[in-house]
Amino acid sequence: MKISIYSKEKENKEIILAKVAELVKKYNHEINNEDFDCVLYIGGDGTFLRAVQENKDKLDDIFFIGIHNGKLGFFYDYTIDELEEVFKDLEKTEKNISKHRLLKAELTLIDGGKETLYAVNEIRIENPFHTLVSDVYVDGVKLETFSGNGLIVCSSLGSTAYNRSLGGSLICPTLDTLQVTEIAPIFNKSYRSIGSSLVLSSDRIVEFVGKLTNVVVGYDHLTSHINDSTRIKIQLSDQTVSILHKSDYHYINKVRECFAE
């Protein structure tokens, strides 16, 4: 198997990479960062997001293996001390690989131009300086006129990230959902919005419509400054990302380890 190594590690990088190289040789694989079957990423959850975005044109043909090195590790199954287990799992004919749909956002600009973005965790619109006002539609049906700091639409996989900090629900990633969660909504006589997160089935389409000036569109760790968008359409895309898990992986163990221990 051809394995690409993705690491932003600063500490012990050489030692870790030497250990990986030794095992790659022992199990008759090859390190190849140009043409590969899987990406072995080492670091924290942010590393996974970056590895996916940097390989988004190859996602149909590859899977990801996370080596957790001391941070939160929601997207990780193996630790540095369990490196050999990765290679034993790669030997198995029945690998425990989960597939997750990416979010897709289509931005319509005032001049009629379009921009398309993809994300693992969430797509968000934020205005850190002024009140952001946006109509929110689901399948073309108006939900609300939102006023506040911003809005996010997260995937089930991304529900443990920014969405969780905003009080949104954690969604088991075996369910394909979209979740709309508000960022600091204004509630008073003039402004009203739903005020709780809204979980939608995988076929729904969420749209933010309005004069979206000076808005930052965030998608995972990336941002795009939009001065002149009129409509942002968000849905689950057909593009998936595949992750290798240990045979005894269970989502609830991950939630407990990351947030309750």
Contacts with ligand NAP by CB under 6 A lie at 44-46, 49, 71-74, 121-122, 157-158, 160-162, 165, 220-221
Spatial separation of the C-alpha atoms in residues 180 and 36, rounded to whole Å = 36
Q: How far is the CB of 259 from ligand NAP (least distance, A)?
A: 9
Which residue has its beta carbon closest to ligand NAP? 46
H or E stretch covering 52? helix 45-54
- Integer Cα distance of 47 and 42 in angstroms: 7
Nearer to ligand NAP, 90 or 161 (CB): 161
- Shortest CB 50 distance to ligand NAP, Å: 8
61 is catalytic: no
139 Cβ neighbours under 8 A, 6+ residues apart? 204, 205
Quote the CA–CA distance of 243 and 72 in Å, as a whole number. Answer: 17
Q: Which is nearer to ligand NAP, 231 or 254 (CB)?
A: 254
Task: Pick the closer one to ligand NAP by CB: 29 or 126.
Answer: 126
Catalytic residue among 37, 45, 57, 60: 45
Q: Three-state DSSP class for 156?
A: coil
Are the beta carbons of 65 and 41 closer than 8 angstroms? yes
Q: How far is the CB of 28 from ligand NAP (least distance, A)?
A: 31
Helix, strand, coil percentages in the chain from 3-state DSSP, rounded to 5: 20, 45, 35
Closest contact distance (angstroms) between CB of 199 and ligand NAP is 16
Closer to ligand NAP by Cβ: residue 24 or 42 = 42
Q: Catalytic positions, please?
A: 45
